[in-house]
Amino acid sequence: MTVLFSCQDDTLRLTTYEVHGIDVSHYQSYIDWEAVANEDITFAFVKAGEGITISDSLFSHNWKEMKRVGIIRGAYHFFRPEVSATKQAYSFIKNVRLESGDLPPVLDVEVTGNLSKKELVKSVKEWIIVIEKEYKTKPILYTNMKMYHKYFEGQLEDHPVWIARYNSRIPYLSPNKNWDFWQYGNRGRLAGIKGHVDFNVFRGTQHELEKMCVYYEPVLSFTKTQ
């Protein structure tokens, strides 16, 4: 993910928070997830796709590896407002099979596609409706703080928010709305990842993070007995 502002110094961990995470895509290449798990990383978001034609080449690999090492995993979709939101939602559904213990789907909104505020919000809600129906959970909205205040303040108030603010100052959304995840830097360093990675924190405890995850009732199979 990218935002308009970034710092040239390596991002230092915010030690005042209990729950730490990262977000990755194919740009990080192959990751040693066991090494990452040993770096006190509780959760990770991985890019699933973009628009309606792009699937991240390492999504499937990362998705399986995160589960294997016990990192709470989430998948995000990079939104292209100029193309059908419904088709983008079905593209995500095609790529991502959520399981109990996974975080809700994330819609990454960083560009407007020259849409008006009304048009952009309508398109985002169109994506969300399809996703909610499929996964039975409220998706997470990812955006930077400037875009949140310009386009989404007062909208989607019952959805979790993941806010990008590359600053030591805590993000502010509104008196009635708190952020759930904060992406506070894009130049983090971790064992297991070559180059930089985005650093994130969750606002609550690990138990609260786990409560945010999806849970599906197991499908019971009955064997007919003679």
Domains defined for the chain, CATH in brackets: 19-212 (3.20.20.80)
- pTM, rounded to two decimals: 0.92
**Tens of pLDDT along 152-174?**
999 999 999 999 999 889 999 99
Which residue intervals of 83-116 are DSSP H helices?
85-95
State how far the Cα of 62 lies from the Cα of 73, in Å rounded to an integer: 9
Kindly write down the DSSP assignment for every residue of 156-179, as one continuous string: STTS-EEEE--SSSPP--BTTB--
Closest C-alpha to 28, from 55, 42, 53, 47: 47
Confidence of residue 112 (pLDDT cuts 50, 70, 90): very high
Q: Which amino acids are annotated catalytic?
A: 23, 110
Answer yes or no: is pLDDT of 82 > 50: yes
**Tens of pLDDT along 174-208?**
998 999 999 999 999 999 999 999 999 999 999 99
